[in-house]
Chain A
Amino acid sequence: MLAFILRRVLSGVVLIAVISFLAYVLLYVSGGDIARRILGENATADTVAKKTEELGLDRPLLAQYGEWVVSAFSGDLGRSWFTGELVATSVSTRLAVTLSIVIGATVVSAIVAVVLGVLAARRGGAVDGSVQVISLIGFAIPGFLIALGLVLVFAINLGWFKATGYVPATTSLTGWLSSVTLPIVALSIGAIAAVSQQVRGSVIDAMSRDYVRTLRSRGLSTGSVVYRHVLRNAGGPALAVLAVQFIGLLGGAVIVEQVFAIPGMGQLTVRATTLGDIPVVMGVVIAFAVIVVVVNLLIDLAQAALNPKVRLS
């Protein structure tokens, strides 16, 4: 088991290294004249040249990347070229915001999806049909459109929730709820559509298995069979889908945070990439890469713990 973990951690580190290099090269190639972009049209050519030198952009790509790697290993991710903020601070404060929304959306979508999936699988008929239609709509409507609709109805017309901005839970719990509810709902809908289909499929599949027939023959009620046994077996695949959804939700947060003007990773990513703020983009890339690697590692570990065969493969 230890070797398994070590192997996975090592491959994760290699992956992060490769991603960081590719990201740097891509940013560098597509960057254009960053000093001019920072300074705007008012700056003279001399000032632009001075800024380029100050940022070290006049040196070869590999030298710049090498320096970034050395600093990054000592824990220094540098400062944003466009706000002067420490990248580590930028990323950590915004990660907290995004994770609170993404984790919230994961929990909400997990609960709702399991309920809908089981209902659809068990009841069939009209219930199943309704769930299918809801799922289809959830798949079909883009997250930002749902977000815009929610803002219009629940923030602007009804005034129940905040239309823009984020209030930390430490400042005000109701304020926090008011600022995260709509983004969580907007993010959840797509995930509910995906996960409920998975749960429905798994439950239907499990219900036709021999062990269910055996359990039934022993006189167990349908409810007991479904909730005690079937769901436990269907849980594995659903968990895997949910983990994928979690990573997908991080991407979805990019758009939803723009709509709600929420200072999370999404907003930071969009701003930093459009501006060409290399230190921040690198910080974001590393943070996301680490999250993806860790989530995958945890799933692997969970599955290995459940199923010894995984460890051998």
Chain B
Amino acid sequence: MFRWKATAATIAIAALALTGCAGGGDDGSGASDSGRADRLTLTAIVGPTSYDIGQGAEYGNRSPFFQAVFDTLLQKNAEGEIEPWLATDWEYNDDNTVLTLTLRDGVEFTDGTPLDAEAVVGSLERFRDGTSPQAATLAGKEFAASDATTVTITQPAPDPSLVNLLSIAPGLIQAPSTFDDPDSATEPIGSGPYVLDTAATVTGTTYVYTANPDYWNADAIKYDNLTINVIEDPTATLNALKAGEANGAKIVNNDTIPEIEASGWTIESNELDFQGLLLFDRAGTMAPELADVRVRQAINMAFDRKALLQALQAGYGTVTEQVFPETSVGYDDALDSTYGYDPEAAKDLLAEAGYPDGFTLNMMSTPAFQTTFDLVAQQLADIGITVNYTDPGTGNFITDMLAPKYPATWMALEQNPDWQLINFMIAPDATFNPFHSEDPQVDEYITTIQMGTQDEADQATKDLNAWIVENAWFAPFYRVQGTYAVDANTNLEFWPTNAYPSIFGFSPKN
């Protein structure tokens, strides 16, 4: 008797769900009075750490949250090229130390305060003096408002990455009225295309936005509402896709691509990260063997990159031997076949360098990438190098790597625009050059890239990349495919230079 009641209750609930919001997702195609689609629902793998740009401003996988509520001074288009945005014009002085920006007139923050040169200066200073991940990129720069719509950025030496930086996190402009408010971590005020609906938002999980009714660039807004759900679990992401509860989703597990495509979704992709070995100790202070370029070259020859890509990334990506990405002026296709997979030749090189019996190399591992570490150890063992792994604990992986506590390490690293990349992994004080490797030739190239004309800089970037490959500072394996899936109702132009698409890259079909 009770079973019947339970069954009846189940059916009643199911009926309610069916007539109510079963499925729950929006198809994103219902046009409204504004001529826009109603809602765009996306999933992301991380939420913003803090909306206060002095503490949390970040692009990469966190970009859509910031892009929705703040404007940047400059903008990147679908090809990754820099375009005017809050700044309509920008110009360097003769020695590239002063950048003058002309601001768009009449832009307001969503609290009604004007977005003028004073506000921009305040925001840039807040970023520079704060603790956002990229805060150091504005270090040493001074900002001044010459009039209501003119801002000058003065720097001690030319910075070829500055214009790019102003199109990403450092260029985000936050309303100065929120600077002293601790709630600005969760209640952002910007001038962006959307306004965060704090009542409907669950911080860390669900972010709900409504279109900014007074946006200066109304045509760029394609949806009345925007929802971004943070889903860390790849299976839950897949479930959300299959149940039609999202219009777009960042896919972290490339193994699931065939399944996603089979469900009628479109895959858009780019390649931002490379994975491989960082041969940090090029002077041999910790592992004397690495001081010999032949040893580093032998390590490069030890890896069957195609097989690694197939085994570890299901083939989604491109094998490479250089750290500069395809979008870089320094990229050279030919460099990718500098070191063919040849364990015998690698052994010969090691013998030539004085290690006929190989040697032991200390490296770090972490459980999340165990298969990778096993394969790396196996391929190195084939040429006589014994890998001795230490697991420093997840929380210490990068800290120990940069301490530096190991002469070499496996890592996935972001491939930034050239000057940022150089200052990230090649320059003597670069974050990912923890042994401060230095070479007069490298220094010369770097100086030319910073100080030379555009042509000279481009050539020096090419030369630098070739030098780094030839001297085997790294042993990259492949660039990993960054994957984004969109449903049948959504168009996406996935820019090539960020882990997450621009929110302006989405538009409804029809």
A residues bordering B, Cβ < 8 Å? 30-34, 36-47, 50-51, 54, 79-85, 89-90, 93-94, 112, 115, 119, 148, 151, 155-156, 159-165, 167, 172-175, 177-179, 181, 258-261, 263, 267-268, 271, 276
Interfacial chain B residues near A79, Cβ < 8 Å: 182, 185
Q: What is the CB-to-nearest-CB distance from B65 to chain A, in angstroms, rounded to a whole number?
A: 11
Besides the contacts A85-B186, A177-B20, what 5 more A-B pairs have beta carbons closer than 8 Å? A84-B50, A161-B14, A161-B17, A164-B236, A174-B19
Bound together, the chains give a CA A179 to CA B236 distance in angstroms of: 14
Q: Is the CB of A112 within 8 A of B239?
A: no
Known interface pairs A83-B185, A174-B20. Does A164 touch B243 (Cβ–Cβ under 8 Å)? yes
Q: A84-B51, A85-B203 in contact; A261/B414 too (CB < 8 A)?
A: no
Give, as a whole number of angstroms, the nearest-CB distance from B112 to chain A.
24
A181 touches B13 (CB 8 A): yes
Residues in B326-345 with C-beta less than 8 Å from chain A? none
Would B204 and A36 count as touching, CB distance under 8 A?
A: no
Q: Which of A31, A155, A178, A181 contacts B239 (CB 8 A)?
A: A155
Q: Which of A40, A90, A151 has the largest count of B CB atoms less than 10 A from its CB?
A: A40
Asked whether A179 and B399 contact (CB < 8 A) given A156-B242, A165-B229, the answer is: no
For B23, B56, B239, which residue has the most chain A Cβ atoms within 10 angstroms?
Answer: B239
CB-based nearest B residue for A94: B202
Contact B204 A42 (CB under 8 A): no
Of A115, A164, A271, the contact of B2 (CB 8 Å cutoff): A115
Q: Is B424 part of the contact surface with A, judged by Cβ < 8 Å?
A: yes
Given contacts A43-B431, A261-B236, contact A271 B204 (CB under 8 A): yes
B206's partner among A174, A177, A263 (CB-CB below 8 A) is A263
B245 interface contact, C-beta 8 A: yes
Could you list some 17 contacts between A and B, CB below 8 A? A38-B49, A42-B133, A42-B134, A54-B131, A89-B203, A94-B202, A148-B235, A155-B243, A162-B23, A164-B231, A164-B240, A167-B24, A172-B20, A173-B16, A174-B20, A175-B21, A261-B239
Name the interface residues of B213-237: CB closer than 8 Å to any CB of A. Answer: 229, 231-233, 235-236
CB < 8 Å: which of A34, A44, A51 contacts B395? Answer: A34
**Could you say which of A50, A85, A151, A177 contacts B131, with CB atoms under 8 Å apart?**
A50
Which residues of chain A come closer than 8 Å to B47, judged between CB atoms? 83
Indicate if B135 sits at the interface (CB-CB under 8 A).
yes
Asked whether any CB of chain A lies closer than 8 Å to the CB of B447, the reply is no
Within 8 A of A (CB), among B389-417: 393-396, 398-399, 402, 413-414
Q: Are A164 and B229 in touch, CB under 8 angstroms?
A: yes
Contact of B242 among A50, A94, A163, A260 (CB under 8 A): A163
Please name all residues of chain A whose beta carbon is closer than 8 Å to the beta carbon of B14 when the two chains form the complex: 160-161
Contact code string B127-146 (vs A, CB < 8 Å = 1, else 0): 00001111110010000000
A159 and B206 within 8 A (CB): no
Q: 0/1 per residue, B163-201, Cβ < 8 Å to A?
A: 000000000000000000010011000000000000000
Chain A contacts of B19 at CB under 8 A? Answer: 174
Of all chain A residues, the one with the shortest Cβ separation from B420 is A42
Q: Are B133 and A40 in contact (CB under 8 A)?
A: yes
Contact call B133/A47, Cβ cutoff below 8 A: yes
Contact assessment for A80 and B204 in the assembled complex, using a CB-CB cutoff below 8 Å? yes
CB pair A84–B245 under 8 Å, yes or no, is no
Name, among B2, B13, B202, the residue most crowded by chain A CB atoms within 10 Å (CB to CB): B202
Minimal beta-carbon separation of A9 from chain B (angstroms):
33
* B431 cross-chain contacts in A, Cβ below 8 A: 41-45
Chain B 113-135, CB within 8 Å of chain A: the 1/0 string?
A: 00000000000000000011111
> Are B399 and A33 in contact (CB-based, < 8 A)?
yes
Q: Given the complex, which residues of A lie within 8 Å of B50, measured CB to CB?
A: 83-84
Q: When A85-B204, A267-B205 are in contact, do A178 and B235 touch as well, CB less than 8 Å?
A: no
- Alpha-carbon gap, A141 to B60, bound state (A): 39
Given contacts A177-B17, A258-B236, contact A30 B393 (CB under 8 A): yes
Contacts of A83 in B (CB 8 A): 47-50, 185-186, 203-204
- 4 closest cross-chain pairs (CB), A and B: A32-B395, A174-B20, A84-B185, A163-B243
Q: Flag if B399 contacts A32 (CB, 8 Å).
A: yes
Distance A167 CA – B22 CA, assembled complex (angstroms): 12
A164 B49 Cβ-Cβ under 8 A? no
Q: Which residues of B contact A (CB under 8 A)?
A: 2-3, 6, 13-14, 16-24, 47-52, 55-56, 58, 131-136, 139, 182, 185-186, 202-206, 229, 231-233, 235-236, 239-240, 242-243, 245, 393-396, 398-399, 402, 413-414, 424, 431-432
Per a CB cutoff under 8 Å, which of A40, A163, A181 touches B240?
A163
Hey, which chain B residues are within 8 Å of A258, CB to CB? Answer: 232-233, 236
A259 in contact with B396 (CB, 8 Å): no
Q: How many A-B residue pairs have CB under 8 A?
A: 185
A222 nearest CB across to chain B (Å): 15
Looking at A81, A164, A167, A175, the one whose CB has the most chain B CB atoms below 10 A away is: A164
Is the beta-carbon distance between B236 and A174 smaller than 8 angstroms?
no
CA A220 to CA B185, docked complex, whole Å: 68
Q: Which residue of A lies closest to B429 (CB)?
A: A44
Distance, CA A161 to CA B14, complexed state (A):
8
Bound: A273/B427 CA distance, A: 36
CB closest chain-B residue, reference A33: B399
- A178's partner among B20, B135, B185 (CB-CB below 8 A) is B20
A178 touches B17 (CB 8 A): yes
A83 to B22, CA, bound (A): 31
A82 to B395, CA, bound (A): 14
For B413, give the chain A residue with the smallest CB separation. A41
Given contacts A159-B23, A268-B204, contact A165 B245 (CB under 8 A): yes
B63, chain A: closest CB distance, angstroms: 13
Q: Which A-chain residue is minimally distant from B14 (CB atoms)?
A: A160
A271 and B131 contacting across the interface, CB-CB below 8 Å: no
What is the minimal beta-carbon distance from B332 to any residue of chain A, in angstroms? 26
How far is it, in angstroms, between the C-alpha of A174 and the C-alpha of B413 when the chains are bound?
46
CA distance A260 to B24 in the complex (A): 13
Please indicate the chain A residues that have their CB under 8 angstroms from the CB of B52 in the complex. Answer: 84
Query: Which A residues are in CB contact (< 8 Å) with B432?
Result: 41
Q: Is the CB of B245 within 8 A of A162?
A: yes
Nearest Cβ on chain A to B29's Cβ, whole angstroms: 18
Shortest CB–CB separation between residue B185 and chain A, in angstroms?
3
Check A163–B245 contact: CB distance below 8 A: yes
A178 touches B51 (CB 8 A): no
CB distance from B397 to the nearest CB of A (A): 8
Task: Across the interface, name the chain A residue whose C-beta is closest to B397.
Answer: A32
Q: Return chain A residues, CB-CB under 8 Å to B3.
A: 115
Known A33-B395, A162-B245: A261·B13 in contact at CB below 8 Å: no
Complex Cα–Cα for A276 and B397 (A): 14
Most buried by B among A32, A81, A268: A32
**Contact of A82 with B49 at beta-carbon distance under 8 Å, contacts A32-B399, A267-B205 already known:** yes
Chain B residues within 8 Å of A173, by CB = 16, 20
A153–chain B nearest beta-carbon distance, Å:
12
In the complex formed, the residue of B with least CB distance to A53 is: B131
Q: Please, which residues of chain B bring their CB within 8 A of the CB of A46?
A: 136, 139
Q: Provided the pairs A84-B52, A163-B239, A164-B229 are in contact, do residues A45 and B204 lie with their beta carbons within 8 angstroms?
A: no
- Chain A residue at minimum C-beta to C-beta distance from B182: A79
Q: Are B22 and A178 in contact (CB under 8 A)?
A: yes
